[in-house]
Amino acid sequence: MKVTENVYGLEATKGSYAYLITGEETVLIDTGRPGQGNGILKELDSLNVNPKDIKHILLTHHDVDHIGNSAQLQEITGAKLWSSREDLPYILGELKRHGLKKVIGSLIKVKLPRDIQTYNSTNVAGNIQVIETPGHTPGHVCLLYKDVLFAGDLVMSSSKGIKPSPGIMTWNKDKLTDSIKKVGALNFTWVCPAHGIPVKKDEGWML
């Protein structure tokens, strides 16, 4: 699914979209649910992207449907794997997830990645801006590339427009609300959420 000239939503991860940027550097954002790794590799091939071309894998947060194939893809691509410092202990299994996610994490096993870099500045990989957006998880981030916002689980899209992630899956609702307001003040055209399809911001950035 082509979003803009250098941005693709990977159909192999439909339902919890991972995204590919083929700009100055080839970058993968999130890695889908466990078991989708081979589908991602096949789709990369259909886009004429060699896995070794991917230099960075950027994680928006620690949920299993975002880190599910990070270990496999890290190994195959040789890419640097990045996360926020706050979410890193959850990715590595050092801390238990909160609420319902604790149950999900116990039921869905994920191969743990290694050698994860933590975001230590506002820009990584091809001038992609890292925006701290805690709320859905303690260390959730959004990523801004040109006029495209990769929203992770900050918001989701539906036929009614853009809405916050469900409260039952949210670590801190007040922080989530603050993060949505913060991001809403930024300039971008496209919103690429994990859940729902990419939409334009002017189709309804709403709380």
The CATH number covering residue 117 comes to 3.60.15.10
Indicate the residue type of 46.
S
Domain total of the chain: 1
Q: Under a CB-based contact definition with an 8 Å cutoff, are residues 140 and 134 in contact?
A: yes
Q: What is the pLDDT of residue 207?
A: 46
The answer to whether residue 104 scores a pLDDT higher than 70 is: no
What whole-number percentage of the chain has pLDDT above 90? 73
Q: Under a CB-based contact definition with an 8 Å cutoff, are residues 6 and 25 in contact?
A: no
Q: Under a CB-based contact definition with an 8 Å cutoff, are residues 167 and 175 in contact?
A: no
> Given pLDDT bands bounded at 50, 70 and 90, which one contains residue 102?
low
**Smallest Cα–Cα separation from 135: which of 174, 103, 82, 164?**
174
More confident call, 167 vs 6: 6
Residue 137 phi, psi dihedral angles, 5° rounding:
-135, 165
Q: What is the pLDDT of residue 114?
A: 87
Q: What is the pLDDT of residues 8-35, one digit of tens each?
A: 999 999 999 999 999 788 999 999 999 9
Q: What is the extent of the structural domain holding 114?
A: 2-203
Q: What is the pLDDT of residues 135-191, one digit of tens each?
A: 999 999 999 999 999 999 999 998 778 888 888 889 999 999 999 999 999 999 999
Residue 155's beta-bridge partner residues? 164
Q: Give the pTM.
A: 0.93
Q: What is the pLDDT of residue 97?
A: 75
